[in-house]
Amino acid sequence: MELVVKKDKVAGTLTALRALYEKDSRPWVVAYSGGKDSTAVLQLVYELLSELQQQGKAGKPVFVISSDTRVEAPNVAEYVSQALERIARAAQRDGLPMTVELVSPEPSESFWGKIIGLGYPPPTRWFRWCTTNMKIKPSRRAIDAITAQYGSVILLLGSRTDESAQRAMSIAIRHITDDGLNRHHEIPNALTFKPIVDWTTDEVWEYLYGNAPPWGGDHDFMLSLYRKANGGECPVVLDLNTPSCGGSRFGCWTCTVVKEDKSMQGFIDSGDTTLQPLKDFRDWLKIIREEPERRSPLRRNGKSAGPGPFNPATRKEILTYLLDLEAQMGFSLIENEDLIYIQQQWSKEFDYSDTALQLASRHGRNITMENTDASIPRNDALLDSCAADSDFPPELAHELLKKVRNSYADLGRWGAKQQLEDALAELIKKDVRQAEKADAAHDL
């Protein structure tokens, strides 16, 4: 009897999806996180498109968007990446109008760009800057690009009332049309549809157990993740009303929002001890966040109310630890683009010797800073040319640069910036006095 009821629910969901698909030309966006709920939604959509394709009716585009924060748990990140590749290949093979996109934050939005580059403290429950920068902005850019092309979209989400009382209340207060749609409160020209909103958790698992993914492979690895880890599923986050994913099965390994990372600990307790160094690093970040001696007395806006960003020494220590950890783990933990962004920020604030890139080079990461304003020219001929173009004394330019390189390459220590300013001012005054003497001698 249960299987009959289950088949009826699947059939009813597919019927509702088909009616919505055929109603208008608005493209669909399926938010896919790799968890059971988003997988069930994507699998239902894939089945529908396959059926419509056979009937010559699958013309409306469907976009599958997944988010990679660049600090996902490595086993989950690999699983999602491989699944997306299979989905893209299968959709092309089957001639389906489906496009797969994995979005990620820009370096200025990334976890390492914020913490190491700008000195942000690791996220807390009250300062959860990670969600907006690492999840919402990348997904919104992708959706905004689609709406700019098509005018409007329908977002298909895996939200269910059975997930939690909080989620059920959130769903209940939304205005829903006769088609089961409601307007997204933050994304312009976007409506949302929740195909499995009334499915129970058992029904989701029954559907996945009984139906292998049409793009190939199986659900065994995803099931093993749920068995090993604790916590809930982390969806693709499109607004701040979505709860933090900290501690979930599909969250960030660096998450400091939660007191304890039960997900990572669950993996380790289940035998994946290779993840222990990542957990140790995360725990260390949480500790140093509370150490006042690691923070600047001034905030980034120049005000002294409360502790400011991590000081330069701590930022260098975090980067060194991270690069050491990367070598130990044997896979990338930070992108080259993030390292370049970090160097750019350091160069603006306190560093004149490309310290971040030098640290990366010691760990086998040889990165150039071509076409950026962060590197200091090392070519004397280029410096002479720039000085001449600016009508600036070449000798003085060399003296200023020499002073910076030799005596003030690191402005991280207290008072170094003021000392540098004084030293440069003295060099300039000296050059002015020499020029005045030369002019006076010429007049004689």
HEC readout, the chain: CHHHHHHHHHHHHHHHHHHHHHHCCCCEEEECCCCHHHHHHHHHHHHHHHHHHHCCCCCCCEEEEEECCCCECHHHHHHHHHHHHHHHHHHHHCCCCEEEEEECCCCCCCHHHHHHHCCCCCCCCCCCHHHHHHHHHHHHHHHHHHHHHHCCEEEECCCCCCCCHHHHHHHHCCCCCCCCEEECCCCCCEEEECCCCCCCHHHHHHHHHHCCCCCCCCCHHHHHHHHHCCCCCCCCCCCCCCCCCCCCCCCECCCCCCCCCHHHHHHHHCCCHHHHHHHHHHHHHHHHCCCHHHECCCCCCCCCCCCCCECHHHHHHHHHHHHHHHHHHCCCCCCHHHHHHHHHHHHHHCECCCHHHHHHHHCCCCCCCCCCCCCCCCCHHHHHHHHHHCCCCHHHHHHHHHHHHHHCCECCCCCHHHHHHHHHHHHHHHHHHHHHHHHHHHHC
The upper half-sphere exposure of residue 329, i.e. CA atoms within 13 Å in the direction of its Cβ, equals 23
The answer to whether position 141 is within a domain reads yes
Does residue 189 contact residue 150 with C-beta atoms inside 8 Å? no
pTM of the shown model:
0.77
The answer to whether position 425 is within a domain reads yes
The answer to whether position 322 is within a domain reads no
Question: How far is residue 109's CA from residue 158's CA, in Å, rounded to a whole number?
Answer: 26
Which of the listed residues 195, 214, 242 is the one where a domain comes to its end?
A: 242
Q: Which domain holds residue 418?
A: 382-443
Question: How far is residue 392's CA from residue 73's CA, in Å, rounded to a whole number?
Answer: 52
Does residue 69 contact residue 118 with C-beta atoms inside 8 Å? no
Which of the listed residues 242, 271, 290 is the one where a domain comes to its end?
A: 242
HEC readout, 117-137: HCCCCCCCCCCCHHHHHHHHH
The answer to whether position 426 is within a domain reads yes
What are the mean pLDDT values of the chain's consecutive 10-residue runs (444 residues total)? 65 96 95 93 97 94 96 90 96 97 96 96 90 91 94 94 56 54 86 94 91 92 77 51 50 87 83 92 96 87 77 96 97 96 92 90 86 46 62 68 66 68 75 56 44
Looking up tokens 């608005």, which residue turns up? Answer: 26
The answer to whether position 281 is within a domain reads no
Domains in the chain, number: 2
The answer to whether position 300 is within a domain reads no
pLDDT at 1: 42
Which of the listed residues 224, 242, 260 is the one where a domain comes to its end?
A: 242
Q: Domain holding 183: CATH number?
A: 3.40.50.620
The answer to whether position 347 is within a domain reads no
The answer to whether position 358 is within a domain reads no
Q: Exposed, middle or buried by CB within 10 Å (0-12, 13-18, 19+), for 255? A: buried
